[in-house]
Structure 1
């Protein structure tokens, strides 16, 4: 799901109450009754119950209620996994209360009222820093070594801050690449953006990219060698340098092309195979696009683009989806065990089989079916040109969106250098 889509949905999601509880028994879906942990505390600081000893079980014979958040697309699978967790741990009686909250919305929903938030929730790794800063997450000490050893290094780094592990890696596929219709475009055509646009114009077709979304527009700046980073807690960005200006010229040329089309996910999923022959998106749209294209479904890394008269490889963001435990949970051990369960090899494999999401678990990722997946293969190809999203703060997205909106609208009332200077100034001001 794109960040702009998440922003649009946020206000609507705020009106959504938690869904009716689903229990492995007939007990009600009320919250736990034990004393909440102190905000910002870690399991080690709350006593032996939540200590780092992975062999320490939860006390048997308890009635344990847990609130769990996940995106709409995950709800059926989430309930199945939670019920399996309860069946696997029969010494206690579990009640689960589910909330529909997407990974990109979880931080904001959580911080509105941490005490009313989920005990266990899914979120995007670029929100980790804000959640840790707000003392929202339990530091993961229970089963820590096992969690680190079974997941790819990048996902562990994405779940960590200052060498402390704060979340459980769930997927390693939060990135994007190029989908295309192989009945119209050849493997040679999709190597360059110029080649794709040429074929599109020859056939009266479109090429999709949500340029007014900072998540995607960085592709050109990263391809030009620019970057966004942190110095302490301060956001830094160099998109207004000479290379950035050249990248902006390339974006301007792309958005002015007759074949260019932008919009939300529904545009690419609805138009691919009809008016659209290629588009930039991620694995979350793989199933819909494969259904539309059938045997003509194809994907690869992002193309190169013309930068100062030469070809430059488009970059991208690399991200991960994580599962966190609320520091205010009254059931820290059960919440940690559930988070661990939701992200184990079996359930990451099940998540791939059901939703085509890429595992962070190394054993699950080694499955032949994962390796043969067209979308995940394209993501793996693009990963060589991707930058981690960990150090991108919230102040980046709105200025980047405004810059992209202006170019999509062909609003050239302000020169590109001034637009870039304004972009960087706003990003660094937070």
Structure 2
């Protein structure tokens, strides 16, 4: 998520800020999608094209452009190691989500591709992606449950999670101790702590330059025991939703939020420089935080309100198979080999080129960087408090309308209850469309 979604800097580009959303409108030129596909000639051309002309299948695999050094070389190395097909890797800069979604409507797209939080509901309903359920076998329970649920529809699993990212609340123990404050476990405690820690040039909390409007809507709903959707119904109509969202407006008007930073929430500079005592950020910032602050930082989930629970958003790119693949079964077998069988490569991809969590629980203890301190705490939160960033049926139209609403509530002071009520018919219309 994790999309989406989800960077202006190399430290963020890997998982795209966990804002791993579905594809946008398919307005891009489809002709451009046929360039550099990684495939040879089409299946309708010379005999043997689908098998690379030598009796072996050929598989075109697409990735978005990661920022961490060594990532591209790693996935190319994995592909070269595959014994049963010739796999070509295409590294796709630019608007990966849109170009990939457009390419699936043509015969020039990938056989295997990654997509933020798995394929969109429109890809699934449109028959553009293959069912991968049977690939998991007896490993299914080893994968992060919230991600499997996010990549499932109609009793089938449509992607295999690669590695996951998460967002957490980091804090400076030394600053909290000086103020006589415990790490906040409840939302009222967080609001009070942010006020108390705002002293002089230091603000109590940094939630991003928009005051958390673009990030914290989901965690605020989860803190109240709610969600965007309740299966295929609106989930934010219940009592407590407006009160939860209004918390972010309270933080904004209290002037306890740090705003106007050169770098946004995805970078830890505001926190490591001492301008904020607490910050909402991603796991990928932990190496920079540790280098700057040593052991003077901790990590906790987003706190709970009465009736709810703490939470952390999680997201992952999922490996998918196009139904237009030249050999769908060969493509499925490659996905099984790489993202289910090759645990050494999965661990390498998660921890050698950045700071991420393996999508399989059994691999987390093998990740040395996740065995102690705040990183170990954060990894444990994935299972205990993890939520997929948004549900599968939460379409880009829903997300845009929600984000616009959140900005009006948090930054402009609009009435949260009225804004939520106005959003209901938009979401219901989308739910009717995608479930028809």
Tell me which interval the TM-score lies in, with the shorter structure as reference length. 0.7 to 0.9
Which runs of 4 or more aligned residues in structure 1 lie more than 6 Å from their structure 2 counterparts after TM superposition? Answer: 4-11, 17-21, 57-60
1:136 to 99, 122, 128: 128
**TM-fit CA distance, 1:120:** 2.0
- The two structures have a TM-score, normalised by structure 1, of 0.75
1:168 to 160, 166, 176: 160
CA distance in 2, matches of 1:74, 1:131: 29
1:197 to 194, 197, 212: 194
**TM-fit CA distance, 1:189:** 3.7
Partner of residue 33, structure 1:
42
Distance 1:287 1:402, change over 3 A: same
Instruction: Kindly indicate whether residue 64 of structure 2 is the aligned counterpart of residue 70 of structure 1.
Output: yes
Distance 1:382 1:376, change over 3 A: same
Query: Aligned runs of 1:12-411 on 2, under 5 Å?
Result: 29-34=38-43, 61-62=55-56, 64=58, 66-73=60-67, 76-89=70-83, 93-100=86-93, 106=97, 108-114=98-104, 115=106, 116-125=108-117, 127-140=119-132, 143-145=135-137, 147-148=139-140, 150-171=142-163, 173-186=164-177, 188-191=182-185, 192-206=189-203, 207-210=205-208, 211=211, 213=213, 215-230=215-230, 232=232, 235-239=233-237, 241-261=238-258, 266-268=263-265, 269=267, 270-274=269-273, 275-304=275-304, 313-343=309-339, 344-354=342-352, 355-367=354-366, 369=368, 370-372=370-372, 374-375=374-375, 377-381=377-381, 383-388=383-388, 389-394=390-395, 395-409=397-411, 411=412
Partner of residue 434, structure 2:
none
- The two structures have a TM-score, normalised by structure 2, of 0.74
**TM-fit CA distance, 1:324:** 0.7
Distance 1:363 1:247, change over 3 A: closer
- Confirm or deny: 8 A CA contact 1:177 1:379 kept in the other structure: no
CA distance in 2, matches of 1:81, 1:345: 14
**Equivalent position SS for 1:185:** helix
**TM-fit CA distance, 1:193:** 0.8
CA distance in 1, matches of 2:309, 2:87: 50
Distance 1:265 1:421, change over 3 A: farther
Segment of structure 1 superposing worse, 263-272 or 128-137? 263-272
**TM-fit CA distance, 1:126:** 6.2
**Equivalent position SS for 1:175:** strand
**TM-fit CA distance, 1:231:** 5.5
**TM-fit CA distance, 1:208:** 1.6
**TM-fit CA distance, 1:35:** 5.1
Distance 1:375 1:277, change over 3 A: same
Q: Deviations over 1:368-424 (max 9, x none)?
A: 623436235225336534444334411331222112212343x23x43332222233
Unaligned runs of 5+ in 1: 22-27, 37-49, 51-56
CA distance in 1, matches of 2:343, 2:94: 24
**Equivalent position SS for 1:272:** helix
Q: Deviations over 1:1-56 (max 9, x none)?
A: 77486689999xx79x88997xxxxxx954353359xxxxxxxxxxxxx9xxxxxx
CA distance in 2, matches of 1:32, 1:249: 56
Distance 1:20 1:181, change over 3 A: farther
**Equivalent position SS for 1:296:** coil
- Confirm or deny: 8 A CA contact 2:207 2:280 kept in the other structure: yes
CA distance in 1, matches of 2:309, 2:142: 32
**Equivalent position SS for 1:184:** helix
How many residues of Structure 1 are paired with residues of Structure 2 in the alignment?
389
The CA RMSD over aligned residues, in Å, is: 4.0
- Confirm or deny: 8 A CA contact 1:61 1:92 kept in the other structure: no
Partner of residue 47, structure 1:
none
- Confirm or deny: 8 A CA contact 2:173 2:296 kept in the other structure: yes
Distance 1:328 1:266, change over 3 A: farther
Unaligned runs of 5+ in 2: 8-15, 431-436
Distance 1:313 1:390, change over 3 A: closer
